[in-house]
């Protein structure tokens, strides 16, 4: 991705300050605006992304994310190795802190024992778009999960990208 499309990390989420840094990228033969529409339609995440549940808006206007939107959701309970849910799940409080349609989305989140920052970049290409998501986390629980879960988050984010692509291929969300 071009330098102008790099993630703008807050200082507290600089790589040296975090225990987890996960980056996934996927080329999609799709219109960036349609991919964007599915990404920001957060109320639908639990219907197509198996690592999400209990999505609700705390501040902002559903169904779409916008700058300043606060939302809560449950994540971390899907095991992509088995394709099944596990008992472990964390409810996280999120706030959208970067929002530039249809190119940039980022939200900061806080959960039990940790905090993090997840950014999404969508870059138009000759064949559609390239979508990048990167997440950094810090805190006690994050250190523990890193040791126990290994590269599971990389696999979960890959599922997120692939299911985003598959839904965007159907056209705009309902």
**DSSP code of residue 18:** -
- Find residue 75's DSSP bridge partners: 52, 90
Whether residue 108 lies inside any domain: the answer is yes
Is residue 77 in a domain?
A: yes
Q: Tell me, what CATH number does 154's domain have?
A: 3.30.530.20
* Mean pLDDT score, 17-31: 95
- The predicted-structure confidence for 50-92, as pLDDT tens digits, reads as follows 989 899 999 999 999 999 999 999 987 666 667 666 655 789 9
Q: In total, how many domains does the chain have? A: 1
Rounded CA-CA distance 133/38 in Å is 14
pTM higher than the cut 0.85 = yes
Residue 3: what pLDDT? 41
Q: Is residue 14 part of a domain?
A: no
| 173 lies in some domain | no
pLDDT of residue 75: 85
Answer yes or no: is pLDDT of 2 > 50: no
For the stretch 105-160, pLDDT in tens is: 999 999 877 899 999 999 999 999 999 999 999 998 777 777 666 578 888 899 99
Q: Flag whether 73 is in a domain.
A: yes
Q: Is residue 174 part of a domain?
A: no
Q: Is residue 33 part of a domain?
A: yes
Reported for 65-71, long-range contacts at CB under 8 A and 24+ positions apart, including other chains, are 65/40, 65/96, 65/99, 65/105, 65/107, 66/40, 66/96, 66/99, 67/96, 67/97, 67/98, 67/99, 68/95, 68/96, 69/42, 69/95, 69/96, 70/94, 70/95, 70/96, 71/42
Domain, as residue range, for 151:
25-168
Q: pLDDT band for position 1 (50/70/90)?
A: very low
Task: Pick the more confident residue, 28 or 89.
Answer: 28
* Mean pLDDT, residues 33-41: 98
pLDDT band at 5 (very low <50, low <70, confident <90, very high): low
Residue 10 placed within a domain:
no
Residue 13 tokens read as: 């989420």
> CA 72 to CA 169: how far, in whole Å?
27
């Amino acid at each position: 991705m071009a330098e102008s499309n790099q993630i703008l990390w807050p200082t507290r989420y600089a790589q040296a300050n975090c225990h987890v840094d996960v980056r996934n990228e996927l080329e999609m033969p799709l219109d960036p605006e349609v991919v964007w529409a599915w990404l920001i339609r957060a109320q639908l995440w639990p219907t197509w992304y198996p690592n999400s549940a209990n999505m609700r808006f705390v501040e902002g206007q559903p169904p779409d994310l916008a700058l300043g939107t606060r939302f809560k959701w449950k994540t971390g309970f899907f095991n992509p190795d088995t394709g099944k849910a596990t008992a472990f799940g964390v409810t996280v409080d999120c706030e959208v802190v970067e929002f530039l349609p249809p190119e940039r989305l980022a939200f900061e989140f806080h959960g039990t024992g940790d905090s993090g920052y997840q950014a999404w970049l969508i870059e138009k290409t000759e064949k559609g778009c390239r979508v990048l998501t990167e997440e950094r986390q810090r805190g006690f629980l994050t250190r523990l999960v890193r040791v126990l879960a290994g590269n599971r988050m990389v696999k979960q984010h890959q599922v997120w990208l692939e299911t985003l692509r598959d839904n965007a291929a159907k056209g705009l969300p309902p």
